[in-house]
Structure 1
């Protein structure tokens, strides 16, 4: 899910930084676009790192055997 959000932020940021030429008083739309692109790239990288760590996880099953037929020796 974070991978999709990251790609979305990169696309929206690129549109704001390069395609929109509107001006809003007190807000620089190009800077907002660059911030969105940086946040999107960071989200994509973190998502890929987390997925790589999840893929390298190994699980081992611990089985306890009990021998019911022979009781342990008494000393």
Structure 2
């Protein structure tokens, strides 16, 4: 995964935290605090998935590749 997905996850967590804890608006049929908690959960899941995929990609080693040197004729 790209590092942008980590940044997007952190952004979702930050926006969700602001919506959940700093905004006090009373609306009919839509609870902005619940939407903030949902954004924080989605951001946390995205962050965990991004970090796991980043570490798994770094641990992969191609064991089937051999380094071969080709000797060239000297003139």
Structure 1 portions without partners, runs of 5+: 65-75
With normalisation by structure 1, the TM-score equals 0.77
Question: Between Structure 1 and Structure 2, how many residues are aligned?
Answer: 64
Segments of 5+ residues of structure 2 without an aligned counterpart are 69-75
After TM superposition, the runs of 4+ consecutive aligned structure 1 residues lying more than 2 A away are none
Q: Secondary structure at the match of 2:26?
A: coil
- Counterpart selection for 2:41 from 38, 43, 56: 38
Q: Paired residue for 1:57?
A: 60
Superposition RMSD in Å: 1.6
Could you tell me which residue of structure 1 aligns to residue 20 of structure 2? Answer: 17
Equivalent residue, structure 2, for 1:47: 50
Q: Please, what TM-score do these two structures have when normalized by structure 2?
A: 0.77
Name the structure with the higher helix share.
2
Change (3 A) 1:63 1:19: closer
